[in-house]
């Protein structure tokens, strides 16, 4: 059985990708998948060698044949997403691809066309195989692309005989997050002691709960606010969620990033040691 762990945070910028990259260094025989398709960053550290590139088609979008269009306006009336302008032009950012306009058009002037919404990349890195993706600007099929990344990751993991898939998840609690945690064995939540991060942590724990997925928490930059850190620990205890570890405020993650390395590869044994301890606890949860 291939195990899967997703690293999420609710709030962005808490150190999710830094920790995913560190876990990639520490895990043996893992595949890494970047499901933060909206702002993928992991490749900047993993330095992948591309082996395969796949087009991702999202929802189709409507296209109006000007020659057939009689400007009756029925499509515009029928479209609930305001995607058809006064001049009968489709706003491709607003179009959700529902096909209602095609259904109501009496002239058969509207067809639903394939629409490339992003790309998926398969590659090899110094830590093992890696799948990442790029969602086109303004697309709304993030959830679907995340599912495709995970499907590719699963196929590749089987091919390479990997035992673990480490997933870097997106921020938030919406469709991309739901798609990146569904069916995984463990959700690893990176938070920090600030009012915003705590608020988002609570929402994200609820999402994990909602889908009945076990979660553990890591408190990053715990020393910025001792009181809030205590609050998080207390909250997690009440919720029955383990705190897998705490990391201090440090310039190591940024320095390592500037060198294109993970914090484990960077020459700072103290910080790396702390991350290692967290990884051992997480690893225990997984097996």
Q: Minimum CB separation from ligand SF4 for residue 98, in Å?
A: 4
Q: What is each CA distance from 232 to 20, 188, 200, in whole angstroms?
A: 21, 15, 12
**Piece of 18-26, 37-45, 95-103, 193-201 that binds ligand SF4 (CB under 6 A):** 95-103
User: What three-state secondary structure class fits 57?
Assistant: strand
The number of residues making up the chain comes to 287
In angstroms, rounded to a whole number, what is the distance separating the alpha carbons of residues 120 and 147? 11
Kindly report the CA angle at 246 between 244 and 252, in degrees rounded to 5? 125
Q: What is each CA distance from 197 to 98, 232, 239, in whole angstroms?
A: 36, 10, 17
Query: In the complex with another protein, which residue's Cβ is closer, 97 or 245?
Result: 97
Please answer whether residues 37 and 135 qualify as being in contact, where contact means their C-beta atoms are separated by less than 8 angstroms: yes
Please pick, from the candidates 40, 100, 167, 201, the single residue that binds ligand SF4 as defined by CB under 6 A.
Answer: 100
Under rule CB under 6 A, residue 57 binds ligand SF4 = no
Query: In the complex with ligand SF4, which residue's Cβ is closer, 101 or 145?
Result: 101
In angstroms, rounded to a whole number, what is the distance separating the alpha carbons of residues 139 and 117? 6
Query: In the complex with ligand SF4, which residue's Cβ is closer, 64 or 241?
Result: 64
Q: Give the containing element (helix H, strand E) for 101.
A: helix 100-104
Q: Minimum CB separation from another protein for residue 121, in Å?
A: 15
Residues that bind another protein (CB under 8 A): 9-14, 17, 38-39, 41, 44, 59-60, 78, 80-81, 93, 96-100, 103-104, 135, 137-140, 142-143, 170-178, 192-196, 199-200, 203, 206-207, 210-211, 221, 224-225, 228, 249, 251, 254, 257-258, 260
Query: In the complex with ligand SF4, which residue's Cβ is closer, 102 or 200?
Result: 102
**Piece of 24-32, 78-86, 126-134, 200-208 that binds ligand SF4 (CB under 6 A):** 78-86
| Closest among 217, 280, 271, 222 to 244, alpha carbons compared | 217
List contacts with ligand SF4 (CB under 6 A): 62, 78-79, 81, 83-84, 90, 95-101
């Amino acid at each position: 059985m291939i195990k899967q762990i997703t690293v999420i945070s609710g709030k962005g910028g808490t150190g999710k990708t830094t920790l995913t990259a560190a876990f990639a260094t520490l895990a043996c025989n893992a595949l890494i998948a970047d499901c933060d398709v909206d702002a993928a960053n992991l490749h900047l550290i993993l330095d992948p060698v591309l082996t395969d590139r796949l087009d991702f088609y999202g929802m189709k979008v409507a296209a109006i044949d000007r020659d057939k269009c009689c400007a009756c306006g029925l499509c515009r009336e029928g479209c609930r997403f305001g995607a058809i302008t006064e001049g009968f032009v489709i706003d491709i950012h607003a179009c959700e691809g529902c096909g209602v306009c095609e259904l109501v058009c009496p002239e058969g002037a509207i067809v639903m066309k394939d629409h490339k919404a992003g790309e998926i990349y398969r590659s090899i890195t110094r830590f093992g195989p890696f799948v990442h993706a790029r969602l086109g600007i303004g697309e709304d099929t993030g959830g679907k692309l995340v599912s495709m990344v995970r499907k590719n990751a699963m196929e590749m993991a089987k091919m390479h005989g990997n035992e673990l898939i480490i997933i870097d998840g997106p921020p938030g609690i919406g469709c991309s997050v739901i798609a990146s945690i569904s069916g995984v064995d463990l959700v690893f939540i990176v938070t920090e002691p600030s009012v915003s991060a705590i608020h988002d942590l609570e929402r994200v724990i609820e999402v994990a709960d909602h889908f009945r997925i076990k979660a553990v928490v890591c408190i990053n930059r715990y020393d910025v606010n001792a009181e809030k850190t205590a609050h998080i620990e207390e909250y997690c205890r009440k919720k029955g969620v383990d705190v897998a570890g705490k990391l201090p405020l440090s310039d190591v993650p940024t320095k390592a990033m500037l060198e294109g390395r993970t914090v484990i590869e960077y020459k700072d044994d103290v910080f790396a040691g702390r991350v290692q301890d967290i990884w051992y606890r997480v690893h225990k949860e997984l097996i």
